[in-house]
Amino acid sequence: MGRDALFTLLASEHLLVQSRKRKHITTNSRHWYRRYPNLIKDIVPYRPDQIWVSDITYIRTKNEFLYLFLITDAYSKKILGYRLAKNLDSIHAVNSLQDAIKNRCQPIQGLIHHSDRGIQYCSKEYTDLLRDNEIEISMTENGDPLENPIAERINGILKDEYLNIKSNNHNNIDIRQVSYAIEKYNTLRPLRPHLSCQMLTPEQAHQGNGQLKKLWKNYYKKRVILNV
């Protein structure tokens, strides 16, 4: 039985693994900073450095919580900027954005930065850096993870498949491990086929242009249809 047939069977029998519910909140949208509209609705990127998506995820170790700030190219799924920190201060988001600006491969003109409405992304330091580089600002409108799905998906891939965080008793995670995981994710064949960017690595996809063919299927959506 092939992969597609297996997942179809699992969906029909309600045996697909459910996504984990978030247990630790990283987004504080109750602040007085300006919010921005969602500019990327129904936009399918056709080149790198057209849309960047940002998010913060937590890593729970045995003794503490760590926070991973990520900026990902929506076209290639390449991680362009990141920071691992012990707190949620806005400076870490700013530093990850500075890295992304340095690592871009296309002119900055026409670039849209998309994020949630967390205080880090609405802060004056962060929005000033975006404006100084003529990057348009886009944000989610309802706090729904589905408004920033690529960023949410990359969070899960890194934690579950590259950092192998399977329990709350993980002893230590440091920046060297995170850097190695991101380098491996960006440049090497993933642990499973990278179906969202035409079987290319993110690094390979980031060097190209033209719409990439998505080869994955939404089995969870299919399960809902089957239930009906």
CB atoms within 10 A of CB 219: 16
Residues 6+ apart with CB under 8 A from 222: 8, 11
Listing DSSP states for 36-74 in one string gives -----TT----STTSEEEEEEEEEE-SS-EEEEEEEEET
* pLDDT at 104 (0 to 100): 86
Domain assignment present for 205:
yes
Helix, coil or strand: residue 173: coil
Distance between CA atoms of residues 115 and 122, nearest Å: 9
- Judged on CB neighbours under 10 Å (0-12, 13-18, 19+), 77 is buried
Distance between CA atoms of residues 137 and 35, nearest Å: 9
Using one digit for the tens of pLDDT, what is the confidence trace for 88-117? 999 999 999 999 999 887 778 899 999 999
Domain assignment present for 202:
yes
Domain assignment present for 35:
yes
Distance between CA atoms of residues 138 and 151, nearest Å: 14
Helix, coil or strand: residue 192: coil
The CATH number covering residue 165 comes to: 3.30.420.10
Listing DSSP states for 102-146 in one string gives HH-SS-STT-EEEE-S-HHHHSHHHHHHHHHTT-EEEE-SS--GG
Q: Residue 56 sits in which domain range?
A: 3-11+23-227
Domain assignment present for 145:
yes
Domain assignment present for 163:
yes
Using one digit for the tens of pLDDT, what is the confidence trace for 110-164? 999 999 998 999 999 999 999 999 999 999 987 677 788 899 889 888 888 888 7
Percent of the chain with pLDDT over 70: 78
CB atoms within 10 A of CB 11: 21
Domain assignment present for 17:
no
Domain assignment present for 16:
no
Which is more confident, 38 or 219? 38
Nearest to 128 by CA among 82, 102, 93, 104: 93
Domain assignment present for 18:
no
* pLDDT at 48 (0 to 100): 92
Distance between CA atoms of residues 165 and 173, nearest Å: 9
Question: What phi-psi label fits residue 19: left (phi over 0), alpha (psi between -120 and 50 degrees) or beta?
Answer: beta
Total of domains in the chain: 1
